[in-house]
């Protein structure tokens, strides 16, 4: 089986200031890849770039579509369009109805979903013109079904998964690669907010390793850990009566 990650020389990671994004940047640089790292916090990117001469910071606010389009155009002008782009920018606030207000929902949609839309819409035509390229979108296993305490975050990840399923045939038609990454719980600054048990939680380094292993292959979905993916996959197939009975137990 061929390792398609070996064919990528330049990787753009959006959402690389901490967590899995930062871990991926360091691991890819260790493999000799040129890595462009983007996030809002320029100081975090600069600190990351100090760890390897192969890491280049490109500060970016994904909630500004014009800024995203400008970043993509500048990369193309410089002859630096990425072979692989990984979108893992996200915000997260746990909670149910108590946290569900329009402004917080708009913030989650803006970063988690619309930011990815801006990247896809700006980058796809350039890659199509180039005739090659790959994009990987980080969603979550929470996209499989509605889970308690994820009223703000879960719907944005479900939207991402649906979007990727919808546009995958167009990527195929253009000769481009699109992959969907669905992690379970990962020990990052985001999950540190959780006060509930997180089964099968992985370190950010373990998660990054699993993502890289998945990127080596051409499968559409990269889902991990396997036990959690299987459990949630079965859960979403239950009749609603049984499903909601189980969900109510999780609120206790």
pLDDT by residue (tens digit) across 60-109? 999 999 999 999 999 999 999 999 999 999 999 999 999 999 999 999 99
pLDDT of residue 44: 96
Assigned token pair, 221 = 């979905």
Query: Would you say 83 and 132 are in contact if contact means Cβ atoms under 8 Å apart?
Result: yes
**Domain limits for position 205:** 4-250
- CATH (domain of 151): 3.40.50.720
Nearest Cα neighbor of 147 from 93, 194, 96, 97 is 96
Mean pLDDT of 186-208: 93
Nearest Cα neighbor of 157 from 184, 179, 171, 138 is 138
pLDDT of residue 195: 85
Mean pLDDT of 35-54: 97
pLDDT of residue 1: 54
Number of domains observed in the structure of the chain: 1
Mean pLDDT of 196-204: 93
pLDDT of residue 208: 97
95-122 pLDDT, tens digit per residue, is: 999 999 999 999 999 999 999 999 999 9
pTM (two decimals): 0.96
């Amino acid at each position: 089986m061929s390792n398609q990650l070996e064919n990528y020389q330049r990787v753009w990671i959006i959402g690389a200031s901490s967590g899995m994004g930062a871990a991926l940047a360091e691991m890819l640089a260790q493999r000799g890849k040129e890595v462009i790292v983007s996030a809002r916090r320029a100081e975090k990117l600069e600190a990351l770039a100090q760890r390897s001469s192969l890491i280049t910071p490109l500060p970016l606010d994904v909630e500004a579509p014009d800024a995203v389009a400008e970043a993509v155009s500048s990369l193309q002008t410089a002859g630096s369009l990425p072979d692989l782009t990984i979108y893992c920018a996200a915000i997260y606030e746990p909670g149910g109805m108590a946290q569900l207000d329009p402004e917080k929902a708009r913030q989650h949609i803006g970063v988690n979903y619309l930011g990815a839309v801006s990247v896809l819409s700006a980058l796809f035509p350039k890659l199509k013109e180039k005739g090659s390229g790959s994009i990987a979108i980080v969603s979550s296993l929470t996209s499989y079904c509605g889970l308690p305490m994820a009223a703000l975050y879960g719907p944005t990840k479900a939207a991402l998964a649906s979007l990727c399923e919808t546009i995958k045939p167009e990527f195929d038609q253009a000769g481009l690669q699109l992959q969907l990454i669905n992690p379970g719980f990962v020990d990052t600054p985001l999950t540190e907010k959780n006060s509930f048990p997180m089964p099968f939680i992985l370190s950010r380094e373990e998660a990054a390793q699993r993502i890289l292993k998945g990127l080596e292959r051409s499968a559409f979905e990269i889902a991990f850990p396997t036990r959690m993916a299987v459990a949630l996959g079965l859960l979403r197939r239950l009749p609603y009566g049984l499903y909601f009975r189980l969900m109510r137990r999780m609120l206790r």
